[in-house]
Structure formats: structure tokens, C-alpha cells
Structure 1
Amino acid sequence: MFRLTGDIVLEGDRPTNSFIVLDGVVCSYKHTGAGKRQITSFFVAGDLPDLHGIHLAVMDCSFSSMTPGKLGLIRHSALRSICEQRPRVATAFWRSTLIDAAIYREWVTNVGRRDAYARTAHMLCELIVRLRFAGRIED
């Protein structure tokens, strides 16, 4: 476990670990051709943001902390071993990546087809639901 501050993994890195958010909020982002940062998703306690890194040799995005928090590290070799020995865990990880993909599709719709107020409302609603599910906020 380590304290969460600033960038965690950068696009182009070749990590040997994945991480789980234990506390705080993490974002993934990419840089545009003009050098601007575009946030592509948020992650809260309980999320495994870079689970896809198990199968990618080079990271295709960056991860950074949005708030102070804590991370747990899990070696890719240990994750692969767990998946081989425990097919149900592998299925849960696969389901997690499918949920992430569904969230990305919503973000594409959000950025491409909604006005600024609707985009902001959508993002806030998503964060409220996810933080409530993680037990970080109440009504």
C-alpha cells in the first residue's frame, strides 16, 4: 500500500503491477495533439483502474490521483496466476473490464452529444452513484 499523490502510471510505461484504489479518486487521461489533458474516466475505492495492463505491454493512457488517497499494488504475475488457478476470479476481472467499457461508451456519448450542463450533470451523477456504491457517501 502506498499514499496516492500525482501521476501513478504514465502513457508509454511498461508496468509490472496493477493497482487497486483503496481510498481517494483516480482519473485516467490522455494528452491531445495540442498537449491538453483529456480525462477519460474516474475511479473510486474498490476499482482496479489498470486491470487491462496485465495484457498490454505498454500503457495506452495515464493515471493520476485527483484527491489524496491510498493504493494497493498487485504484481501482474500474481494476477495471472490467480486467474489460471481461479476461473471465477478471471470471470470477475473480465466482467470488470466490460463494465469499464460500458462506462467509456457513456463518456463518448456524453462528450459527443450533450451540452456543457448535461455533460457536467452526467459526470456528477456517475460519481455520486459510484461513491455511494463504494460506501464513501450517503444520501
Structure 2
Amino acid sequence: AVLRAQGINDIVFTREPGGTPLAEKLRDLIKQGIDGEVLTDKAEVLMLYAARVQLVENVIKPALARGSWVVGDRHDLSSQAYQGGGRGIDSQLMASLRDTVLGEFRPDLTLYLDLPPAVGLARARARGELDRIEQESLAFFERTRARYLE
């Protein structure tokens, strides 16, 4: 509403993971998993980047090329925090993966809304059934938050 009040009407809203048919399928796998199979941390991060590349190449870059504003719910910083901080995946591996698949593509502006992990978990529980990531321990979310704050 704020952008539209400023006369900016060509806005594309995105979410991660997701935003394309393939990326939405990957989102479901990441958030729900497959019965009987453990999703490894590295497989999770690779799936996230696969979904991200689909979104960037098929939605975000074309929108920017035609002059649209793009407002995204999450991007690479989330992977750096959740998988790098929360899951403890090596930061050099994370940076290498980001640079390999995204190149120099970065958001012009990132807003981080800080919330104590216990409050965020309480809100998630109040919404109902938790997804695979929301079921992680408080310590996981504390590590994730610490990485965001770095």
C-alpha cells in the first residue's frame, strides 16, 4: 500500500521458496519432507537454491527488466541464516553456492524484522500444524537469529 501511495503500481510480490510451479513443488518438499526419508542439510540447501534460481531467472529478472518493482518475502540472506547459522553448514560453502548460482545478483534493499525466537515459535504454534522447519528446536532458531544479526 505504501508503494502504491507513492504512485508505484507495477509491483511483483514473491516468496521463497516458491514463486514458480517448480519452486512451489520444491517448497512443499522442503517444508513437508517425504515420509520415511530424512532430508539432509545439504540436500535442503541445494533444493532451496534450485527454487531460488527458478524464481530469479523466471520471475524476478524479467520483472526488473520491464521496470517492475519486486518485493520478496525472503531471499539469499534467509539461506545464509537458516542453513548457514541454524544448520551449521560451512559459510564458505554457502557463499560459494550463492556466488555460483546467483552470480552478482543481489537485492537492492533487505529489511530484517527481528523477533526473539521464542516469540516466533509461539506464533507458529498458535497458527496450527508446524512444518518441518518450524518443528526445529529453540536452539536452531537462536543460531539462525544470531546469523541474521551478524
TM-score, normalising length from structure 1?
0.30
Structure with the higher fraction of residues in helix conformation: 2
TM-score, normalising length from structure 2?
0.28
